[in-house]
Amino acid sequence: MKKSIVIIVSAVLVAIIAILVWLNLSQRSEMSEMIEQLEFEKEALEDEYEDLSIQFDGYQQMDIRNDSLAELLSKEQQRMRDLMEELRITKVTNARRIAELKKELATVRAVMVVYVQQIDSLNRTNERLTKENQQMRQQNQQIIQANTELEQQNTALNEVVSRASMLEIGDFKVIPLNKRDRKTSIFSQIQKLEFQYTILKNITCEPGMKNVYLRIIRPDGEVMSKSAMNVMDFENGTVPYSIKQEIEYAGEEISGVMYWPVEEILQPGIYNADFIVDNNLIGSFPFTLKK
């Protein structure tokens, strides 16, 4: 009887031990599978962080024209690097922290997406404004060019009008006279020079009283003048003149005569007679006095 009881008890113990062994092995297997799954999840999470790091590096190469956004993006990138380092040193069995790091990754990615969208929006706005500015500059340049061309046309037109309205000497003659006011060809007998001139018809010239200035230029280039006070305005300055005569011009051809009393020693050679009216040189004529 006792032997039977011992056998039964032994069988029960063996069964219990077998069950315990089976349970232990089963738990170890499950634990191994769980650790393997956690390792897989950690590796996958590390890969996600690595991909995000590459994205950050790419975004840092973008043309970020907003310093505040650039600084925020840089801070998020550093935060992501810190999380990557923490994930690397976190034990695979620390499932809770790994889950938290996964949530942190999602947060960083979401924040990054917002910043990138803002950067893209700002860049598009800047590109649009830059394009508009370029168009405005081109339009302004076209306007400036058009105005310049118009000014040039107006200047050319004014020059044409000015030339058209400028008087012109048609006929000119210089006659040496002796003391009896008779023409002479003897150099030593010249006592007076008679200058005959004709101003041509010009209906575009403004009529009225006008001063005709004659500048007699000697062979040595000096202007013959009776007084240092005999000066006239010409080309933004003053120049000496020899004779001045006032005429009334009505647009029709008009002739005049001027006389130069010879009170100095004449130089033989080529002289020049310049006629100036209304600040314009309207005729320049060389003449020769020979001994």
31 domain residue, yes or no:
yes
Is the pLDDT reported for residue 203 higher than 90? no
Residue 17: domain span: 2-126
Q: Are residues 190 and 278 in the same domain?
A: yes
Residue 241 within a domain: yes
Chain-centre distance of CA 249, in angstroms? Answer: 52
pLDDT one-digit tens code per residue, 159-181: 544 555 689 998 999 999 999 99
42 assigned to some structural domain = yes
Instruction: Give, in degrees to the nearest 5, the angle at Cα 174 between 170 and 178.
Output: 155
Q: Are residues 122 and 175 in the same domain?
A: no
pLDDT at 205: 86
Across the range 101-121, mean pLDDT stands at 72
Q: 55 or 256, which is more confident?
A: 256
Q: 27 lies in a domain?
A: yes
Are 120 and 204 in a shared domain?
no
Q: How far apart are the first and last CA of the chain?
A: 183
Q: What is the pLDDT of residues 23-77, one digit of tens each?
A: 554 555 555 565 666 666 667 666 776 776 677 666 665 666 666 766 776 777 7
Domain for residue 21, yes or no? yes
Task: Return all residues near 202 (Cβ < 8 A) that are at least 6 apart.
Answer: 164, 165, 166, 167, 168, 251
109 and 22 share one domain: yes
Q: Are residues 180 and 280 in the same domain?
A: yes
Residue at 90 is within a domain: yes
Q: What percent of the chain has pLDDT over 90?
A: 38
- The verdict on 173 and 109 lying in the same domain is no
- pLDDT in the model for residue 233: 92
Other Cβ atoms less than 10 A from the Cβ of 235: the count is: 10
**Percent of the chain topping pLDDT 70:** 68
Q: Do 175 and 270 belong to one domain? A: yes
The chain-wide mean pLDDT, for the chain, equals: 79
> Is the pLDDT assigned to residue 215 strictly greater than 80?
yes
153 within a domain of the structure (yes/no): no
Tally of domains within the chain: 2
C-alpha distances out from residue 50 to 38, 44, 84, 109, Å? 18, 10, 8, 12
Instruction: Read off the pLDDT of each residue in 119-138 and give the average, rounded to a whole number.
Output: 75
Question: Which CATH number belongs to the domain containing residue 199 in this structure?
Answer: 2.60.40.10
| Residue at 134 is within a domain | no
Residues linked to residue 199 through DSSP beta bridges, in sequence order: 169, 254
